[in-house]
Structure 1
Amino acid sequence: MIYLDHNATTPPLPEVIEAVTECLRSGWGNPSSKHGFGQQARSALAQARAEVAALAGAQPVEVVFTSGATEANHHALSGALARSGAAPRVLLSATEHSGFMKAAMRLREVGIAVELLPVDGEGRLQPGALATALAEPAALLSVMAANNETGVLQPVADIAAQARAAGVPFHVDATQMAGKLPLDFAGWGADLMSMSAHKFGGPKGCGALIVRKGLNWPPLLSGQQERGRRGGTENMPGIAGFAVAARAARATMQPDGLRLGALRDTLEAALRETLPGLTVFGAAAPRLPNTLMLAITGLSADRVLDCLERQGIFASSGAACSSGGTEASHVLRAMGVPAADALGAVRLSLGRGNDAEQIARVVQTLSSLAPQQPLAAAAATTH
């Protein structure tokens, strides 16, 4: 198997599996309990919080453990509304994760203004549009640090500075960047930041919302845990795995990034040579080193993915499935990509298990599609 869907989820690291298993076996105490066994769990929780904070570029006190990035994003959104006055506005980039986008858009049903900020053809926020949006009060500005489909990076520090000058709380969704590129919550100047463990070798069902020290952010789930910021007994096995994954990411991020970036560039260059009319989305913008989103002229994403899977290669499309059929990626549509082209988009996202031999097999498999492209088929018919 060649797995090229690491932006969807990653295989848990062996040491993460060991940490989760050991916690289930002997570290299952409740951190809120006053007895010795509970205090052992509390100590482990504090150590894990420090590991996650180190990966985030934050202070341990700023880490609020959640069930994942979805909860963290909703916490950011709900807290903003709870803090705001009458007629709040919420600002999102037009390329946010579809789940968060849908949650925000539902707010329009109750009279809350939700504004989608336009991006350019590479998927980067348009500075003029951001400045215009921030000229009026808003409850929250939320932007992904790295897009989950294209891998395109946003200038987070610049956006944070503009939001801070306007007095607008700024939430950065760092779910895709975490473990791939360094995070700098403190240096960026963000107010809130979301993370998820399973995107970089950790367990599913565990994430964090980083909340700037001194910022009073209302909880999504009330309770005494997490200093009153997130109710519910902490998921200690998940948190233990999260901490181990965070420590491993800090140790391997730089060499992994260089290696995966070289593999991605090799893959992209080889496909450009063998597939006429290949489109790479976001190619001119800074991107995650592991991510390549492309379309092959005249071929649907389903056709490309079927070709890959028949060779044991697993990737994903940039389209969303619904009861009414297949919808083109909202990310690509926001970038100005025609719907017909967006429906052909395929995402290849590399990870630690991929190597040069696998990439060569991917190139060989995708190159076999060249004769099936309309121009090639037409040429074969006329000769």
Structure 2
Amino acid sequence: MPWNNQGGGGGGGPWGPPPGNNGPGTPWGRPSGGGGNGGGGGPQPPDLEDLLRRSQDRLRRAMPGGVGSGRGAALVVGVLALIWLASGIYRVEADEQGVVMRFGQWTRTEQPGLRYRLPSPIETVLLPKVTRVNRIEVGYRSAVGGGRNDRDVPDESLMLTGDENIIDIDFTVFWVIKDAGNFLFKIREPEVTVKKAAESAMREVIGRTDLQPALTEARQQIETSTRQLLQTMLDEYQAGIEITQVQLQKADPPQPVIDAFNDVQRARADRERARNEAEAYRNDIIPRARGETERLVQEASAYREQVVSLAQGEAQRFRKVYEAYALAKDVTARRMYLETMEEILRGRSKIIVDGSAQNVVPYLPLNQIAPHAPANAAPAPRPAQPGGPTSGAPAGSSSGSRGGTQTQPLSQSLSQSGQ
């Protein structure tokens, strides 16, 4: 053989016989027999045959009947079955729901926590995120990168109002998964379904609302009504979706008529302003007029009470005077005359002419003696005197002896008054 020792000696393989031993050796120069020190002078590699043989010996001791026996096969199958069953343990996170399918058919929905299912291929599980808020735009598309130039979609945004006007509405729908099983298996293309249902609900709500309220004060009501109607529709579909918010982005007239509409709005604003000013003027003038009316009524009532009371007092006084006159006519007549003259001469300038002056010419400066009385001043009333001086007697007349009336000159009357 070509690996025989060329220098002679026994056949010990291509490496030659081990030193000090004439017998055959191993490829590492180690004798195949029992004793002797190996040659080579370095660490020897492990004996693979020895390792394999030891492993087989241990397996035989564990399974006395051998691997091919029934007990060994059962143990192997049991270990494999245990590993297979343990593969059914899984965990559902807090933001997930576990949808368990048995041979492809949905059987149940698991809540967050540590769960178990039958191992594959009997049961499989899907773990959709149920807390993530999804967003759907209707009537417009947001610009890429968060820009401000959103793209309008007239086919979705133009709607007919309740008073047969056209309005351009853009809105956004926010939704989350409420039931993962229904969401995955009861509807197809959930985003398209939500979008179409939202557009239908908004058109129905706008169709019951007039244009002016839809543009101004009814926005909150439109959002609430649309969300409720959309949720009802999705519940009927068993979509497993919950609508969290419907948010109006824009509610304007159509672009071709927006200038004319703004003019109309300004005219309506002017009308409301004029109406408010008129209301304010009315609220100011009417209470004042009512107060003035009430004041006039109170003054008239007070004047009426005053006149009636004065008339009653004068009547009572006249009766008292008449009763006194009936008892003593001369005394009463004289007293009435004196009271009348006192009333007439009070506060006026007086000139007394002595009767012994024969050559004195009476001079009466009437413009100085009697100042002009007010035009509305009424003469003092004088009661009638039966058989005596009348109430309308002039200032120059005086009563004479009992039972008659004698007219005297004014100078003589003044002289007698002074005496």
TM range (shorter): under 0.3
What TM-score results when the alignment is normalised by the length of structure 1?
0.21
Q: Tell me which of the two structures has the higher relative contact order, counting C-alpha pairs closer than 8 angstroms and 6 or more residues apart.
A: 1
Q: Which has the larger radius of gyration?
A: 2
- After TM superposition, the score normalised by the length of structure 2 is 0.20
